[in-house]
Amino acid sequence: MILLELKDIHKSYKDGQVKVNALKGVDLSIENGSFVSIMGPSGSGKSTLMNIIGCLDKPTSGIYRIGEKQVEKLSDWKLAGIRNEFMGFVFQQFHLIPGLNALENVELPLIYQGITGRQRKMKAKEALEAVGLGDRLKHKRSQLSGGEQQRVAIARAIVGNPKLILADEPTGALDSKASENIMSIFQRLNEDRKITIIQVTHEKSIGEYGKSIYHLLDGEMDYIEEVIRNKAK
Ligand SMILES: Nc1ncnc2c1ncn2[C@@H]1O[C@H](COP(=O)(O)OP(=O)(O)O)[C@@H](O)[C@H]1O
Ligand SMILES: [Mg+2]
């Protein structure tokens, strides 16, 4: 089943007098349950594409469908609703709130969903246990390593039961051991919970944790590489 479909997506930015064509007719369709890596040189349009997929930005032209919904023309308000219900985000910089402990950081999206007290704590605890941080619930940001902070960020991304995780350079700030740990968490979420994962990376060894690699070049889809045997857990 196709989860997302982008057809002939263009995105241009106006930078003063200069127009930058960041995406020039990208077609992409992503099956439910896939694990996709997007790779490409700096400036090739990876983040622009991720922002469109994540409904954080709209294409200049083209069609974007999520399931049966055509989303490219929806209001910002509706797009926010789709993000909340359907997607979890993971970024290179973990974006945890410094004054809050791990549990409270993970509870945040549930507050926006209107889930109250006890249930919120229970779900947040479960999500932290799923990333191996059941013993770090009360730790603040400054008391967690980079890898642990990213695991808290993943717990925050999955706590609302998303169908899709979008990760832009999730291991960009981590050493190789912590990076592998994050990738095996992604593999587990993909295989056991059937969460679709789309990640951007510029590291081939990280890209190969996906089942396929989409190569962007200068705003266009250059080629798609199927990873024959994705890395062992
Ligand atoms: N907000 C913006 N305003 C103007 N130009 C932008 C903006 N965001 C990205 N660009 C340009 O669009 C192109 C693609 O950028 P980006 O999607 O960030 O690439 P990548 O993530 O692959 O490095 C680059 O030339 C970049 O300078
Ligand atoms: Mg980028």
Q: What is the pLDDT of residues 37-80, one digit of tens each?
A: 999 999 999 999 999 999 999 999 999 999 889 998 899 999 99
**Ligand 2 centroid, distance to 217 Cα (angstroms):** 13
**Ligand 1 environment, Cβ below 6 A:** 13, 15, 20, 22, 40, 42-48
What is the pTM assigned to this prediction? 0.95
Index of the ligand 1 atom closest to the CA of residue 49: 17
Q: Whose CA is nearest to atom 5 of ligand 1?
A: 13
How many CB atoms are closer than 10 A to CB 145? 12
**How far is the C-alpha of 181 from the C-alpha of 30, rounded, in Å?**
25
E-state strands within the chain: 2-15, 18-31, 35-39, 61-66, 69-70, 87-91, 164-168, 196-200, 212-217, 220-226
Asked if residue 231 has pLDDT above 80, the reply is: no
3-state secondary structure of 43: coil
Q: What is the pLDDT of residue 228?
A: 85
**Ligand 2 centroid, distance to 219 Cα (angstroms):** 12
Angle at 116 between CA 115 and CA 121, to 5 degrees: 95
Please report which confidence band the pLDDT of residue 112 belongs to, taking 50, 70 and 90 as the band edges: confident
231/15: higher pLDDT: 15
**Ligand 2 centroid, distance to 115 Cα (angstroms):** 33
Q: What is the pLDDT of residue 16?
A: 87
Can you list the domains of the chain with their CATH numbers?
A: 36-57+75-226 (3.40.50.300)
Return the DSSP state at 140: B
